[in-house]
Amino acid sequence: MKKTVMDELLFKNKDFVVQISTPFGTGSGFLLSEPLCIITNYHIVKGHGEVVVQGNPFPKKVVSVVYTDVLLDLALLEVPQGYQPGSEQPVLFEGTVPEGQMVVAIGHPFGLNYSLTKGVISKNNREYNGVQYLQTDAAIHPGNSGGPLVNENGVIVGLNTMAFSGSTRIGFSLPSKYIIDSLRLYKGFYPQRVLRCSSCRSPQLFEQAKGGYCENCGKAFPKEEIHPREFEPSGMVAVVEKMIERLGYDVRLARNGPFLWELSKGESRLQILYAQNTGFLVMDTVVCVLPPKDISRFYEFLLQESYLQKNLVISVRGEKVLLSWMLHENDFNEEEALGAIDDLLEKPVAYRRTIEQKFGV
Partner 1 sequence: MLFNRIFRREKPGPEISKSRHFFGSFLDCNKPGERDNHYRKAGELFRDGYSVEAILEILQYLNDPDRGNVEYQSNEFSVEFRIHQGRKQINGRLDNQGLQAEASMAEYDRANASFLRNVLERNYFLQYCRFSQPQSGKLSLHCHLAVEKLSAEKVFFALKELCLKADIAGEELLFDFDELKETGLSPKYVCPEEHWKLKSRFLREWSAQTLDALASKNTEKEPLPVSLLIINFFYRADYLLRPSGKPGRLIKIGMEDFRDKTKALSHRVQKARELLKELQQLDESVMRGSFCSAVYTFGLLKPSSHKEVSQAMVEQLQKGVVFRHKKDEHIRLLMLENIAGYCLFVFGMYEPVKELLTMVYRVLYPEFFHRLGMGSRLYNTASDTLNPKEILAGITRIVETHRQAHPRLRFYSNMLVFTNLNTFLESFLQEITRLNFDEKNSHG
Any idea which residues carry the catalytic annotation? 43, 73, 145
Max CA distance (Å), the chain = 73
Does position 243 bind partner 1 by CB under 8 A? no
Q: Are strands 280-289 and 268-275 parallel, antiparallel or unpaired?
A: antiparallel
**CB of 20 closer than 8 Å to CB of 44:** yes
Give CA–CA dist 203/233, Å, rounded.
Answer: 33
Q: What single DSSP character describes residue 213? A: B
Give CA–CA dist 345/351, Å, rounded.
Answer: 11
Does position 297 bind partner 1 by CB under 8 A? yes
125/311 with CB nearer partner 1:
311
| Among candidate residues 110, 83, 94, 109, the one with its CA nearest the CA of residue 16 | 83
Which residue stretch of 105-113, 211-219, 293-301, 347-355 sits at the interface with partner 1 (rule: CB under 8 A)? 293-301
| Among candidate residues 231, 286, 285, 287, the one with its CA nearest the CA of residue 259 | 231
Which residue stretch of 99-107, 199-207, 210-218, 315-323 sits at the interface with partner 1 (rule: CB under 8 A)? 315-323
Residues binding partner 1: number (CB under 8 A): 27
Does position 299 bind partner 1 by CB under 8 A? yes
Give CA–CA dist 286/11, Å, rounded.
Answer: 26
Does position 129 bind partner 1 by CB under 8 A? no
Does position 281 bind partner 1 by CB under 8 A? no
* The only residue of 311, 353, 356, 358 in contact with partner 1, by rule CB under 8 A: 311
SS3 146: coil
Q: Taking CB under 8 A as the criterion, which residues in 316-345 touch partner 1?
A: 316-317, 322, 324, 326, 328, 330-331, 333, 336
User: Please, what is the minimum distance in Å from the beta carbon of residue 230 to partner 1?
Assistant: 34
Does position 310 bind partner 1 by CB under 8 A? yes
Q: Taking CB under 8 A as the criterion, which residues in 85-124 touch partner 1?
A: none
* The only residue of 114, 213, 231, 280 in contact with partner 1, by rule CB under 8 A: 280
| Among candidate residues 43, 19, 22, 21, the one with its CA nearest the CA of residue 31 | 19
125/306 with CB nearer partner 1:
306
Beta bridge partners of 132: 127
Does position 2 bind partner 1 by CB under 8 A? no
Does position 296 bind partner 1 by CB under 8 A? yes
Other residues' Cβ atoms within 10 Å of the Cβ of residue 229: 13
| Among candidate residues 151, 161, 165, the one with its CA nearest the CA of residue 74 | 161
Contact footprint for partner 1 (CB under 8 A): 280, 295-297, 299-300, 302-304, 306-307, 309-311, 313-317, 322, 324, 326, 328, 330-331, 333, 336
